[in-house]
Amino acid sequence: MKYIASGVICAALILASCSQPNSTSTARQPEDPQKTAEALKHFDQNKFGMFIHWGLYAIPAGEWKGKYVRGIGEWIMFREKIPVAEYSKLAGEFNPVKFSGAEWSQLAKDAGMKYLVITSKHHDGFAMFASKASKYNIVDATPYAKDPMKELSAACAERGLDFGFYYSQDQDWHEANGRGNNWDFPEKRDAQVYLEGKVFPQIREILTQYGKLSLIWFDTPGLLSDQQTADLRAMVKSLQPSCLINSRIGHDRGDYAQTGDNAIPIQVYTKDGKWEVPATLNDTWGYKKNDQHWKDPRDLIGKLADIVSKGGNYLLNVGPTAEGVIPPASQDILRTIGKWLDVNGESIYGTNPSPMNIRDITWRVTTKPGKLYFHILNWPGARMRVDGLESEVKRAYWLTGGAAVPIKKAGNGIEFTLPAKAVDPYDSVLVAEIDGDAPKIAAGYGADEVPAKLDLYAWVGHLRGEEIRYDWATQSASGFKKFENASNALVYFPYKALDGDYDVEVTYSCANDAAGGKFQIVAGRRGANPDGRVEGTIEKTGNQFVTRKAGRLTVRPQTGQIIFDLLDDKSAAVKIRKITLSRASS
Ligand code: FHN
């Protein structure tokens, strides 16, 4: 299994020298690959899960000493370099009296989610479960003095939801030998001491105190050696052979892969096995009281269809308050998704990815034997032509209501006649029943054939930053405010779909008085030695959308991201609709 990490994690991976297996290892059973394979198959069918980031950081909720702290909420200790002695006092205030395992798991169920993953210990080092290995835990260090994970895991089991734990295995700002806190602990750390003293015992605790875990979701493997990672894996598999391990365990030792946070591949991606996109509902994982930038259900349902059609699972996050309440706005959004899934779940759960490559943002397709489910995300008008579908379509109908959809052969594909308006406000699913189990696709249209010209619409990218927004009416992203290290940006994730030189065009609109600012498009990491980079000037367009050439960009299979952002603030209001990459002929 390849590791499709975010750039941050990937760059941090260094193969260190092997250490001896830790003293806390169990007498290990050899792994049972059959059990892992079965668990993976089940995981693949689930498609949609709930991620929960819950910890002490929900108390400051994005504010420290009266000051707003930018960035993701659970990183507040790190961003503000809060000393352990000060941060750990938050435990004395943590009293989530409104927590209800039944309510949380029921919400996941109502949302149509099939699994739930919650932070047992995030980078701040605080255990949200009963731990004998460290007193810094919710039972021993808070007035709440109970283990919410007992209640939550039992409530999930009752509702037939798979249950898993997130665990930050290397990064731990509470410990002298954990990684990340150099304001309290400037000395060189000994990772093995940390692993043996805290990680291995706590991993044993989470694997033995809460019944069956469907997975352990490790994060930011950092500098752990291959041997240390192997030991961690062996411990998990020895205690629960069917428990899956994600790729962020490091060193390619996971059972399935994560993309970077909020990172959706631009094309169908099935080369390297199963993957999952961890994603936020607003701009944070842990609760931040000022972050009301909620994604709209249309966006999220579209993203679910997009991810599933490309071969992934969607792990969508909620950040409960310190009282134990999942923000009502998140609840409403999730229930809306659930209502859509009640009707359209057949086109998501247990489906196979698209047999066709991705060309625009009109539709995505998922399949089951003999059936294609077209998810129409942007209504194309009275007709929808699907080029390259050579199978005979026997009949077509709407999943909502079942009304027949007229079809006719057109060119090398098929044309569907559509009503004037979308059948569903979020994603209208058109079912096409074909002759035979597997669709026949014309040359050049197959999922593993990347088109020579790719329109990368803003909707397909990740809108990174607190100010950037998507406008459905103009299908464009805007609000490219510039900051020293965290500029708003539109980011695409090629995941091996591109290799070579590409002529770049940008389609945008800009008010005349906001024109003149400089933009850049970088393939790979910003700074020294990107794989490719082009720069240009935003022109006056009188608020009309125009397409302008931007230069030639080199992209490599290992290029993790293609980033569009501005070099200054002058044209922050520019609206970017798409970036087009055309394979250069020479
Ligand atoms: O640093 C963490 C972050 O806080 C959050 O937990 C996300 C979720 O995928 N993972 C890390 C960054 O990739």
Q: Could you tell which of 181, 283, 285 is best to mutate to test the pocket of ligand 1, judged by most ligand atoms within 8 Å of the CB?
A: 285
User: Contact, 363 vs 374, CB < 8 A?
Assistant: yes
Judge if 78 and 168 occupy the same domain: yes
Q: Is residue 12 part of a domain?
A: no
Distance CA 237, CA 235 (A): 6
Q: Report the DSSP pairing between strands 48-52 and 312-318.
A: parallel
pLDDT digit string (tens) for 456-491? Answer: 999 999 999 999 999 999 999 999 998 877 789 999
What is the Cα gyration radius of the chain?
Answer: 24
Q: Which residues contact 153 (CB under 8 A, 6 or more apart)?
A: 101, 163, 210, 211
Residue 66 in tokens = 């009266």
Strands (E), 24-161: 48-52, 63-64, 67-68, 115-121
Ligand 1 atom showing the smallest separation from residue 53 Cα: 6
- pLDDT given for residue 441 in this prediction: 98
Section 113-138 average pLDDT: 98
Residues 397, 238: Cα–Cα separation, whole Å: 48
Residue 240 pLDDT exceeds 60: yes
Q: Is the CB of 6 under 6 A from ligand 1?
A: yes
- In the numeric block, the tokens 């932070």 are attached to 119
169's tokens: 């295995």
Contact yes or no for 226/16 (Cβ under 8 A)? yes
Find out whether the beta carbon of 291 lies less than 6 Å from any atom of ligand 1.
Answer: no
Quick one: average pLDDT of 50-69?
98
Cα 360 to chain centroid distance, Å, stands at 21
Q: What are phi and psi of 345, to 5 degrees?
A: -55, -30
Give the β-pairing of 215-219 and 244-245. Answer: parallel
Q: Count the neighbouring beta carbons within 10 Å of the beta carbon of residue 528.
A: 5
Tell me, what's the pLDDT at 28?
A: 64
Length, in residues, of the chain: 586
Amino acid at site 151: E
Report the percent of the chain where pLDDT is more than 70: 95
**Packing angle of the helix pair 148-158, 101-110 (nearest 10 deg):** 40
Q: Which two structure tokens, joined as six digits, stand for 282?
A: 């607003």
How far apart CA 550 and CA 534 sit, in angstroms, is 7
Q: Is the CB of 219 under 6 A from ligand 1?
A: yes
If you average pLDDT over residues 103-131, what whole number do you get? 99
pLDDT at 5 over 80: no
User: Is residue 113 in a domain?
Assistant: yes
Q: Are residues 337 and 482 in the same domain?
A: no
Over residues 96-105, the mean pLDDT reads 98
Q: Is 220 in the pocket of ligand 1 (CB under 6 A)?
A: yes
Task: Give the domain-ending residue among 312, 346, 380.
Answer: 346
pLDDT digits (tens, 9 = 90+) for 496-524: 999 999 999 999 999 999 999 999 999 99
Atom of ligand 1 nearest to the CA of 285: 5
Residue 156 lies inside a defined structural domain of this protein: yes
**Over the stretch 376-411, which tens digit does the pLDDT of each residue have?**
999 999 999 999 999 999 999 999 999 999 999 999
DSSP secondary structure of 454-487 = EEEEGGGSEEESSS-EEETTTTEEE-----SS--
Domain of residue 552: give its range.
453-583
- Please indicate, yes or no, whether residues 78 and 141 belong to a single structural domain of this protein: yes
Encoded tokens for 287: 């609760």
Amino acid at position 267, single letter = Q
Is the pLDDT at 16 greater than 60, yes or no?
A: no
Q: Phi, psi at residue 335, to the nearest 5°?
A: -70, -30
Nearest CA to ligand 1 atom 10: 219
Residue 113's pLDDT is what?
99
Ligand 1 pocket residue status of 167, Cβ below 6 Å: no
Residue type, 136: Y
Does residue 460 belong to any structural domain of this protein?
yes
Any ligand 1 atom below 6 A from CB of 255? no
Q: Which residue type does 455 have? A: D
Which amino acid is located at 218 in the chain?
F
Please state the pTM of the whole predicted model.
Answer: 0.95
- Residues 194, 313, single domain; the answer is yes
Nearest residue to 74 via CA among 141, 123, 144 = 123
Distance (angstroms) between ligand 1 centre and the Cα of 74 equals 9
Q: Is residue 16 part of a domain?
A: no
**Is 152 in the same domain as 291?**
yes
Q: Which atom of ligand 1 is nearest to the CA of 258?
A: 9
User: For residue 108, what is the enclosing H or E element?
Assistant: helix 101-110
Contact 258, 249 (CB under 8 A): no
List, for residues 151-209, the tens digit of each pLDDT value. Answer: 999 999 999 999 999 999 999 999 999 999 999 999 999 999 999 999 999 999 999 99
Whether 427 lines ligand 1, by a CB cut-off of 6 Å, is no
Average pLDDT over residues 131-153: 98
pLDDT above 90 (res 290): yes
Q: What is the pLDDT of residues 39-58, one digit of tens each?
A: 999 999 999 999 999 999 99
User: Hey, what are 234's tokens?
Assistant: 């062996």
DSSP 179-214: BS-TTT--SPP-HHHHIIIIIHHHHHHHHHSSS--S
- Listed residue (366, 267, 258) closest to 313, CA to CA: 258
Whether residue 285 has its Cβ less than 6 Å from ligand 1: yes
370 C-alpha vs ligand 1 centroid, how far in Å? 39
pLDDT of residue 117: 99
- What CATH number corresponds to the domain at position 479? 2.60.120.260
Q: Does residue 315 share a domain with residue 264?
A: yes
Distance 397 CA to ligand 1 centre (A): 41
In the chain, what is the straight-line distance between the N-terminal and C-terminal CA atoms, in Å?
A: 34
Interior CA angle at 278 toward 5 and 64, to 5°?
A: 100
Counted domains in the chain: 3
**Residue 446 is assigned to a structural domain of this protein:** no
pLDDT-derived band at 25 (thresholds 50, 70, 90) equals very low
Can you tell me which atom of ligand 1 is nearest the CA of 6? 13
Residue 2 lies in a domain: no
User: pLDDT value at position 30?
Assistant: 83
CA–CA distance, 536 with 337 (Å, rounded to integer)? 40
CATH code of the domain containing 305: 3.20.20.80
Which residues, at least 6 apart from 30, have a Cβ–Cβ distance to it below 8 Å? none
Q: How many CB atoms lie within 10 A of CB 546?
A: 15
Residues 367 and 335 in one domain: no
Same domain, residue pair 486 and 530: yes
How far is it, in rounded angstroms, from Cα 259 to Cα 275? 7
Ligand 1 centroid to Cα of residue 519, in Å, is 28
Our answer on whether the CB atom of 72 is closer than 6 Å to any ligand 1 atom is yes
Residues 481 and 402 in one domain: no
Beta strands in 122-190 (DSSP E): 162-168
Residue 12: the pLDDT is: 27
Comparing CA positions, the residue from 132, 151, 50, 134 lying closest to residue 91 is 134
Q: What is the mean pLDDT of the chain?
A: 94
Same domain, 331 and 369: no
Task: State the average pLDDT over residues 9-35.
Answer: 49
119 pocket-lining for ligand 1 (C-beta < 6 Å) = no
| Percent of the chain with pLDDT strictly greater than 90 | 92
Q: How confident is the model at residue 528 (pLDDT cuts 50, 70, 90)?
A: confident
281 and 229 together in one domain: yes
Query: Which of 204, 257, 373 has its CA nearest to residue 6?
Result: 257
pLDDT-derived band at 527 (thresholds 50, 70, 90) equals confident
pLDDT for res 22: 39
- Of 375, 404, 434, the last residue of a domain is 434
Q: What is the pLDDT of residue 533?
A: 97
Q: What is the mean pLDDT of the segment spanning 325-343?
A: 98
β-pair partners for 477:
470, 576
* Strand, helix or coil for residue 276: strand
Copy the structure tokens of residue 292: 């009301």
- For 202, phi then psi, to 5°, come to -75, -35
Backbone angles phi, psi at 67, to 5 degrees: -110, 135
Beta-bridged to residue 165, according to DSSP, are 118, 216
CATH number, residue 416: 2.60.40.1180
Report the alpha-carbon distance of residue 393 to residue 376 in Å, rounded. Answer: 17
437, with CB counted inside 10 A (0-12, 13-18, 19+), is: exposed
Where a domain ends, among 317, 346, 375?
346
- Which residues make Cβ contacts (< 8 Å) with residue 287, sequence separation at least 6? 53, 54, 57, 58, 61, 62, 73, 319, 320, 321, 322, 327
Ligand 1 lined by 276 (C-beta under 6 Å): no
355 occurs within a structural domain: no
Ligand 1 atom closest to the CA of 51, numbered from 1: 8
The residue to mutate among 261, 288, 291, 317, having the most atoms of ligand 1 within 8 angstroms of its beta carbon, is 261
Ligand 1 centroid – CA 166 distance (Å)? 10
Residues 57 and 200 in one domain: yes
Going from the Cα of 218 to the center of ligand 1, the distance in angstroms, rounded, reads 10
261 Cβ closer than 6 Å to some ligand 1 atom: yes
